[in-house]
Amino acid sequence: MAEEIKQVLQEYREGKISRREFIHRTLVLTGSLAAATTLVDALAPTTSYANLVDPNDPALISSDIKYSSTDGVSIGAYLTRPTGEGRLPAVVVLHENRGLVDHIRDVARRLAKVGYVALAPDLLSRQGGTGAFASPAEAIEGIRKVDEEVVTKDLTGAINYLKGQNYVRANKIGVVGFCWSGGQATLILTRNRDLAAGVVYYGRNPNDLDDVKNISAPVLASYGEKDERITAKVPELVEAMKKHGKSFEYKIYPGAQHAFNNDTNPQRYNPEAAKDAWSRTLEFLKKHLQS
């Protein structure tokens, strides 16, 4: 029974089943509604276990904002930046397939703490926003309706918004994406020449690898060895980048799974790989955005 409960718990944490289904299946296994609800509340939280940066950190200015997509649709986003005067480089922080959750807001604040304006768009905004979904599983279903053209419009709108702010260095804007949005980061890099750096965490390749010819920014990528579905395709991307003369650095982390950087997912989080990948990310962004 313990192994079965563990499997159900993992499916819930990965967003494959809803909270209701988790409780139902756990109730069947344990025979106790109290035990089922205790498990879902105590062992399977859907938000961050802890923020690395306090949402109310006095050294940061953080808030939810709205900006216009290129077709005029209002897109929700989380904006965070250091206090003080002057123009700073900026990073568009893209969320995983569960939407704009607390973890991604925290990642944005981590970047703000080291000197960036960080904007995290909610790419579920056209469907009411991440908060409109009752569970991670439902948010994932919503993400499946977000196609490449919508992503291009909404992320171009985010970049344009940053370019228009008097505290942003308009020629020093980067993008970082994780999981689902790792692929979206690569997508926008092929479609927007205003980006000065791109960081991809275990994102899929472009549907047409020849699209990398349109990338004008240097790219850094991190992959997990055990993430075979994604990592097996890396040699094809490397070859395409070489073919078109693009700047592409990457590292495959031994023993690491998909989503190894997400410290709110104990089933996937790999502290050693995450620490190294984040360090490389900060060095890369510093090199290309802070010079």
3-state secondary structure of 38: helix
Is residue 122 within 8 A of residue 157, CB to CB? The reply is no
Residues in the chain: 291
- Residues belonging to the active site: 179, 227, 258
Is residue 163 within 8 A of residue 194, CB to CB? The reply is yes
What is the dihedral angle through the alpha carbons of 274, 275, 281, 286, rounded to the nearest 10 degrees?
160
The 10 Å Cβ neighbour count of residue 205 is: 17
Matching residue, tokens 């897109």: 75
How many angstroms separate the CA atoms of 13 and 269, rounded?
12
The pairing of strands 88-94 and 168-178 is parallel
Tell me which H or E stretch contains 221. strand 219-224
How many angstroms separate the CA atoms of 112 and 91, rounded?
9
Tell me which H or E stretch contains 285. helix 271-289
How many angstroms separate the CA atoms of 97 and 167, rounded?
30
For residue 67, give Cα distances in angstroms to 128, 161, 166.
Answer: 15, 7, 15
DSSP string, 83-149: SSSS-EEEEEEEP-TT-S-HHHHHHHHHHHHTT-EEEEE-TTGGGT-GGG-SSHHHHHHHHTT--HH
